[in-house]
Amino acid sequence: MVGKVEQIDQELIHVCEEFYRQLEGGDIRYFDLLDADIEFNSPFGDVHGHDGVASIFEMAGRAFDEPHPEPEEFVPAGDRLLVTGTWKGRAKATGISVEARFAHIVWFREGKICATHVYVDSAKVREAIEGEGTQ
């Protein structure tokens, strides 16, 4: 895989925790925690580099008020880190709030996040955007 780390340690877990903290707080210094050639794969697009990651987050910001992941658990799994939690936001078009479970698989290179695979209940996200379900 893309990572260069053989084993996840507490320092790398801290890097990932800090990434989520900065992301939720709107602190763009989170880019300092990402490898310049990061691979970001999600149901909403596969992108590379800081510009690609920014484009995914901007897309979420256009569709949702205060979109953000709330990580709950960080589980080392050999050369990768599994992060589970709930992604939250309110669809701008419908006003419907969404809480969708997620799992992120994160790889590291030289102390930075170099790849993330996002798994999320995308049906819930689409339902909020399209106005299905309840408010």
CATH value at residue 44 = 3.10.450.50
Instruction: Count Cβ atoms within 10 A of the Cβ of residue 133 and give its class: 0-12 exposed, 13-18 middle, 19 or more buried.
Output: middle
Spell out the residues 6+ positions from residue 9 whose beta carbon is closer than 8 angstroms to its own.
76
Mean pLDDT over 63-82 rounds to 95
CA-based torsion, 13, 17, 22, 24: positive or negative: positive
- Domain-embedded: residue 4: no
Per residue in 46-69, pLDDT (tens digit) is: 999 999 999 999 999 999 999 999
Confidence band, pLDDT 50/70/90 cuts, at residue 133: low
* Global pTM value: 0.90
- Give kind and range of the element (H or E) at residue 48: strand 45-48
If pLDDT is split at 50, 70 and 90, which confidence band does 135 have?
very low
110 assigned to some structural domain = yes
Number of folded domains that form the chain: 1
Q: Is 6 helix (H, G, I), strand (E, B) or coil?
A: coil
pLDDT category at 132 given cuts 50, 70, 90 is low
> What residues make up the domain containing 31?
10-130
- The reply to whether 5 falls in a domain is no
